[in-house]
Each structure stands twice: as structure tokens, then as C-alpha cells.
Structure 1
Amino acid sequence: MFSENIEKIIAYVNSARKNKYNINLNKEFFSVNDIYGLLQNNDLRTMAKKVIKNNRKFFGDVIFLYAPLYISNYCINGCTYCGFKASNKIHRLKLSYKEIEQEALYLNHEGIDHVLILTGEDPVNSNFEYLYNTIKILKNFFKEISIETYSLTREKYEKLVTAGLVGVTLYQETYSPEKYREVHLFGPKKDFKKRLNTVEEAIKAGVREINIGALLGLYEPEFEIIMMAYHMDYLLKNYPNVEYSISFPRIRTAFNVKDKFYSISDKKLIHYILALKLIFPRVHINISTRESIKFRNAILGIATKMSAGSTTNVGGYTLYKDSTKQFEIEDTRTVKEFMNYIKTRNYNPTTVNWF
């Protein structure tokens, strides 16, 4: 497990970051230890050209699209940065199976074939049985189903795979154990190492697609990027027969969240993305609608997985459009509008993964 050596890795990273590095951007392959030199090199134009060339080689002209589907905002966790945190006095909602079908039908008609299920953690209102039954229902509407939920055991992931689960998105939120404890006040999610081990449990259960990331802004951004690099390197070496993605979500405004966060400029975020993409040319970069239209247009061709036509509230497509959002989105284009834009850039939008 990656968590077994996390303290040693963090100590190494904090020491290595203090040094100065020179890196040759013209070399063909980059290793995880090149992350320091790549982050210190500001020739983003050369990096971008190399990344786009690699993407054409490994992914062709395809941009994979998906849409999130929020099914419950009940939660027993105390995540200080989240609009769904247990202490927030919001209208709690849990979609019925019939309502899930209605939301699914809407997304299906929009042209979506890959759906990402999201839910808070609650043993009553978003329990395993509810998640399992939701996946079975959604198999009637979508070719590919992923989840972004609370941590599960290997046995439970195995059951979800038999029901039709293909992918798991799970953000560590922050790779700093101290910051993690600070922003997760109570609830099952408070366990840092359990969270860190979850993607490996999912892989061992047969999940074919894994998406990792940190919630950028919670802690020092460069530290998070470097730790993401070492985490991905570990996963690729130990579980090579999985399709991987990396996400770079910047924290956004949410209801009753007053924390102060680190700021990450668009240019700096692009630098982070390019650095990791050079090290991991076969790994997808996933950019959601929490980013602006301008940014998502600029990153197209570097990012190869993107959400479209999204809402971040339960039942937000057809049922409860005024319900509390987990966070605010920036790119409000419809699926069709975004697909049309992708085509103008000579890329091919698809919602079916051929992996």
C-alpha cells in the first residue's frame, strides 16, 4: 500500500523541493523524480507542444466526455470546505429510484453515455444498498458508470463491479496528514490512511478506471502536485493494467464555507498539468466544469477527459434545480454546445471509452 511509506515519501519530497534543478525538455522520457525540474522550468510552450504530440500518439483526436449525477446530499462527515458537510443546515435530498431514472433519461437524451455518480456519506440515506441499486438502474441508460463516493471495502467494490461499475474517482483532498486532520473534523472520512488506501482496494476488486487528485487550495499546491506524481507512479508500477486519470480540481465557493485557501492561477495550474503529463504520457488529464470556459478551451488537447453540461446539486438536471450545490460550476455550456466547440478544434468528442 502507498500509505505504508507515506511518511518517508513526504520527508523526501520536503527535502528535495529545497534544491535547484536543471532539466532537458528535449529528452524522450521523464521519470517521477523529474517533477522538481519540470516545476522549476517555465518553458510552458515547449512542454505543451510535447504533451499535445504525445496525446495525439496515445489518444488520437478523441476527447472523452462524461456527466456527474448527484443522488444524495446527506452526509455525516465534517469536511470544512464542502457545502454538503454535516453541520450545514441545508435541505437534504435523496433521489428515489424513479427520480434517478428521470435524471438518467435526461442525460441520456443529451448524448451522455458515461455517468459519474456522486453522493455524500450517510449510513441511512446513501448506504451501500442504495448505491448498488442505483448502478443497476443506470446500466439501462449508460454504457459506462463511475462513482465518486465515500471509501468502500474491497468486497463492496467487487459487488459494485458485478452490478456494472467501471470507474472510481477518489480525491485524497490533501496529501498532508496534518492538514487532512485539520479540515476533516469528524466522521469516517477523517481517517487519512484509509482514504489513501481506497483506490488500491477498488483496483484489487476489479475496477478498471481510476481517477485520483487533490483538492487544490487546501494546502500548499506544489507539495500536492509532487505527491500526486509519486502516488500515480506507485499505482502505475504496482497495478499497470488499469486506465488512470489525474484531476486538478481547484477549490470553489460553497455554502457556508469561510476557510482561507491557497490561490492557484490559470498559468500555474497549466504548468502543474504539463509537468505531470510529461511524466505520465499515457495517463488522462480530467478537467471538470468547475473550471471556466476560457480555461477549458485553452486546456483542450492537453486534457483528454472532461465533464459537460454539469450540475453539482441533487436532482439538478430536471427535479430540484434550486437545491444546494456542492460547489459552484464555471463552465455552463450544454453537452451539445461543448461537443460543437470541440469539433471546431478538430477533436472528436465521445462519451464511450474504448479501454
Structure 2
Amino acid sequence: MSLIDKFIKNNITEPYILVCESKSQMLYSKDLMDKLQIENDLIPTPKGFGGVCTTAIKFDKKDISKVEEIVESNNIEYEGIFSLKDKYKYDLSQIYNLNITDNFKEIIKKVEANIDLEKKDILYLLKTEKEEYKALIKMADIIRKECVGDRIEIRAAVEFSNYCKKNCNYCGIRRKNKTHRYRMSEEEILKEVDKLYKIGIKTVILQSGEDPYYDTEKILSIVKKIKERYRLGITLSIGIRDENEYKLFSEAGVNNYLLKIETASRKLFEQIHPDDDFNKRVKHTKLIKEAGIRAGSGGMIGLPNQTLEDIAEDILFQRDYGIHMIGFGPFLPAKGTPYENYKPGDLNLTLKVVAISRIVCQHVFLPATTAIASLNPDAQAMALQAGANTIMLISTPPHLRENYEIYSNKNMVNLDFAIKSVKDAKRKLPKYLNYDYLKKLGYEIDESLIN
């Protein structure tokens, strides 16, 4: 049995969920369940049982009396215990009227009945063309609207170091690549965060290569100052860390942790990561969740030697590991890497993956990635129309941005570009942005776009 199978195969045959009032209550409940050897898993709370990007504890019906005893005897603050048979039902009736095959109709029936799609279903959707492709995008859009509405989440990344100890074959900041290396000081990072705070951004992404220079103490200092000064949501994207570090980050207020699997195929993973460990990456995905941090993952579409079967497994990995934020973008070659001469990933296939991820994983955040915007400037809007609901701005200081090139010809997505993508996709900008301040900076804001 593979490591992935070991983690996701369990005896939960009739799933129930416990939805707690807070992260601390959820972690306390899970700890008590673990001590009593009640099989459980952390999953994104399904639509209808709680907010998007919150976490529920999944367990089997046979243990319901034990779970009820846990919450009552320990005064757990919780919203409820629910059967997943009662999951939110999506009305996809309008899709049946489109020009689709019986196979596609059977997939729709499964989605409507809350029956998990199998690999063969995902493979069918990955191969859709013409009218069925339109039906796929429409189905994803319906589910997106029901789950997260029309408002697009705007987040911002500060790429604070391009040093990396790893030598991934596709990455422009790999250890062996010749590039101008930089590290931002804590003061420089906080200066950029201050700018984001002033324009109303609610979540900052602190991203770097796997750089040991930023030890636990340095990361915690930055996190705590951001929380104290600005009370922003924080996503870390800094590679694999020790299990205890995830717990310390969680206690300090880190909300999300992005650790992309890139591919769920062990064979392909080892080809693109010559000095990384597949089992370790899978294990740490689970450790992040168990520390009480929402897990972000995703992958690249169009990697050398990648098959549709591999891509189907990538999508299933996101669902089976309960990933909250799923970023799929096209493979884009980077100069100076072993993969620099391979062709980029296909836009149409990437959009299919975004759509299928929304259909399969539903109540999660799906970014319209910077990579897809780099492949085609109109593609970010297309991804929003295919089920995505998040845009990440590049907020690295301008004089450093070109040195953080994971792939070449990166689209430095700024607020102007994001606003255009939202408008083109006929979506809405979030109310939380400071529009009065943005107007003073010279931004022209269409009031009808704000929700």
C-alpha cells in the first residue's frame, strides 16, 4: 500500500462531521478523538455546514455516540454533528439541456446526488471538447456561485527570498541556477505589508524558496509583528519545515500554509524533484492540517511526461487530503533549468482542471493563478469563469521582482491587472479594499464591480 493510500484509506464508510465554533475547539476535539482511537480526518467544511475555508472533523457513524460524549463531557463549543448524506444539493438541471452525452449526464447525476466522482469520471471530463467543454465550465460556474458567490478574494504575495536549497528541475530559483540572489530584511517585509494593509488587503502571502536563513525565530518574529500591527491573515509558502514549527506557526497566528504537491504521481514527482522526497511531502501535507493550519496545495499542468491519468490523480489528491486552497496552473519553462526547452502547458487543459477541481472539491478557494495569467493575459478572467475565485497580487518590491522567476516571462499581476480580470469575468471586487485610498492613488474604480 502506498503512503497516499495509507493516509486516505480508512474505515469511514458512513461519514459524519463535527463542526466546532473555533480552531482551538476543533483541535481540542481532534486530540480527544485521537486519544480514544476514533478514526477521523480534517476536511474543508462542506457547503451548508459552515463557512468556506473552515475545517470540520470527519468520522464514521459508528463512533457518533463517542463523539457526542466527547463534546458534552468536555464542554466543546460546536455548531453541530451532521451526516454527510445531508450535504448541500446543487441544481444542475440546466446542464442536461446542453448537447452532452449520456456519460456526461451520469456524471451530473453523481454530483447532484453528492456521490464522489471516480477517476474514470474525471478522465472523461478531462477529455471533453466543444459543447461538452462548455457544459463542464458551466457546471463548475454554477457550483462556484453557490459555494463562494461572485466576489473575488484578492490576496497579495511578498516574495521575500529567492535563495533555495532545492534543485527542482523546473524552477528558476533552483540552487544551481545563476540568478541574482536576495533576502529581504524583516523591516523591508513589514514595509511591504504596511502598503498592503493601507489598500485593504486582508491576507498576505509570505513566499520564498526553501531558505534555511529564515529560521523559526525569524519567521515567528515576522508573523507576530504582522498580527500585532495589522491583524492580517497570513499564508506561509516556505517549503517543508519541522512538525513542531507548524505548531508554533499556528500558535503565532498563521492561517494557511501552501505546500504544493505539484504532482501526485510518485514517478513524476521524482523526475521533477531530484533531491526531494515524495513520502515526506505527502506526510507534511497532513502535518500542516494537524497543526491547525489550513493546507494549500495544487500542481502544474503540462509537465514533461505527464499523462491525463496523472492529472486525474492530482485532482483526487486535493479532495482526499482535504485541501482548502487549490492552485493549479500551467507548467511554464524557466531559463537555465533542465526543463527550459520544454513547451508550456496547455491553456484549455488547465482551465478544465480548474473547473473539475471546483466540481470535485466544491467549498474551497481556487486561485486564478499568476502562471495562467503569464501563459495568456486573458486567461485569468477565463479561470474565474471556470470556477476560480481568488487572485494573488505580486507585491514584492519592484527592484526584486524579476529575480523571483520560478518560471520565465512571469506576469507581475498587480491591482490594475486583477481589477481588469474581475471585470472581464463579470465578477465582483471585495468590499474590504480601501477604495477611497485607492482613488487617491489614481485607481479608477467602477462602483458596480464592488460587492
Which runs of structure 2 are paired with 1:148-167 in the superposition (5 Å)?
148-167=237-256
Alpha-carbon shift at residue 163 of structure 1 (Å)? 1.3
Q: Could you tell me which of 355, 361, 371 is aligned with 1:290? A: 371
Q: Is 1:233–2:319 an aligned residue pair?
A: yes
Amino acid at match of 2:246: Y
SS in 2 for 1:67: strand
SS in 2 for 1:62: coil
Q: Once the two structures are superposed, what CA deviation does each residue of 1:190-242 show, in whole Å capped at 9, x if it has no partner? A: 111101121210110011x3221122233415233211232123224xxxxxx
Q: Partner of 1:264 in structure 2?
A: 345
Q: Could you tell me which of 292, 298, 301 is aligned with 1:213? A: 298
Q: Partner of 2:46 in structure 1?
A: none
Structure 1 stretch displaced more, 29-38 or 73-82: 29-38
Which runs of structure 2 are paired with 1:31-50 in the superposition (5 Å)?
31-33=116-118, 34-42=121-129, 43-50=132-139
Q: Partner of 1:108 in structure 2?
A: 197
Structure 1 stretch displaced more, 168-177 or 316-325: 316-325
SS in 2 for 1:323: coil
Q: Which has the higher contact order (CA 8 A, sep 6+)?
A: 1
Alpha-carbon shift at residue 343 of structure 1 (Å)? 4.8
Identity percentage of aligned residues: 21
SS in 2 for 1:69: strand
SS in 2 for 1:68: strand
- Please list every run of 5 or more consecutive structure 2 residues that lacks an aligned counterpart in the other structure: 10-101, 433-451
Alpha-carbon shift at residue 332 of structure 1 (Å)? 4.1
SS in 1 for 2:103: coil
Q: 8 Å contact 1:115–1:142 — kept in the other structure? A: no
Q: Once the two structures are superposed, what CA deviation does each residue of 1:116-151 show, in whole Å capped at 9, x if it has no partner? A: 11112233x232222222212322235211011211
Q: What's the TM-score once normalised by structure 2's chain length?
A: 0.65
Cα distance in 2, alignment partners of residues 161 and 321 from structure 1? 28
Alpha-carbon shift at residue 8 of structure 1 (Å)? 11
Cα distance in 1, alignment partners of residues 270 and 314 from structure 2? 19
Q: 8 Å contact 1:91–1:324 — kept in the other structure? A: no
Cα distance in 1, alignment partners of residues 180 and 413 from structure 2? 27
Cα distance in 2, alignment partners of residues 99 and 182 from structure 1? 36
Q: Partner of 2:5 in structure 1?
A: 5
Q: Partner of 1:247 in structure 2?
A: 327
SS in 1 for 2:288: helix
Q: Is 1:87–2:191 an aligned residue pair?
A: no
- Please list every run of 5 or more consecutive structure 1 residues that lacks an aligned counterpart in the other structure: 10-20, 237-242
Q: Partner of 1:203 in structure 2?
A: 289
Q: Once the two structures are superposed, what CA deviation does each residue of 1:93-112 show, in whole Å capped at 9, x if it has no partner? A: 11111111122223333432
Q: Could you tell me which of 95, 104, 108 is aligned with 1:23? A: 104
Larger radius of gyration: 2
Q: Partner of 1:56 in structure 2?
A: 145
Q: Describe the shift of the 1:6–1:80 C-alpha distance in structure 2 as closer, same or farther (beyond 3 A).
A: farther
Amino acid at match of 1:162: E
Q: 8 Å contact 1:214–1:224 — kept in the other structure? A: no
Cα distance in 1, alignment partners of residues 178 and 417 from structure 2? 35
Q: What's the TM-score once normalised by structure 1's chain length?
A: 0.81
Amino acid at match of 1:249: G
Q: Describe the shift of the 1:327–1:303 C-alpha distance in structure 2 as closer, same or farther (beyond 3 A).
A: same
SS in 2 for 1:145: strand
Q: Describe the shift of the 1:299–1:261 C-alpha distance in structure 2 as closer, same or farther (beyond 3 A).
A: same
Q: Partner of 1:134 in structure 2?
A: 222
Count residues in correspondence: 326
